[in-house]
Amino acid sequence: MPHGHSLVLTGSAIGGLILTGVLTFLSSLMNITPPVAKAQAIPLDPGIANHAPVSQEIENSASIESCQVNAQFPFEVHRWCNLVTQYATQNNLPPNLVAALILQESGGDPDAYSKSGAVGLMQIMPRDGIAAKFQCINGPCFSDRPTMAELFDPEFNIRFGTRMLNQLIHRHGDLREALRAYGPMDVGYTYADKVLSIYQKYSQE
Distance CA 12, CA 23 (A): 17
**Mean of the per-residue pLDDT values for the chain?**
78
163-205 pLDDT tens trace: 999 999 999 999 999 999 999 988 999 999 999 999 999 998 6
Q: What structural domains does the chain harbor?
A: 62-204 (1.10.530.10)
136-173 pLDDT tens trace: 999 999 999 999 999 999 999 999 999 999 999 999 99
Residue 72: pLDDT over 80? yes
How far apart, in Å, are the Cα atoms of 194 and each of 65, 82, 155, 161?
29, 24, 24, 18
Under a CB-based contact definition with an 8 Å cutoff, are residues 160 and 87 in contact? no
Q: What percent of the chain has pLDDT over 70?
A: 68
Q: Which residues contact 146 (CB under 8 A, 6 or more apart)?
A: 124, 126, 127, 156, 160
Helices (H) and strands (E) in the chain, counts: 10, 2
pTM of the model as a whole? 0.68
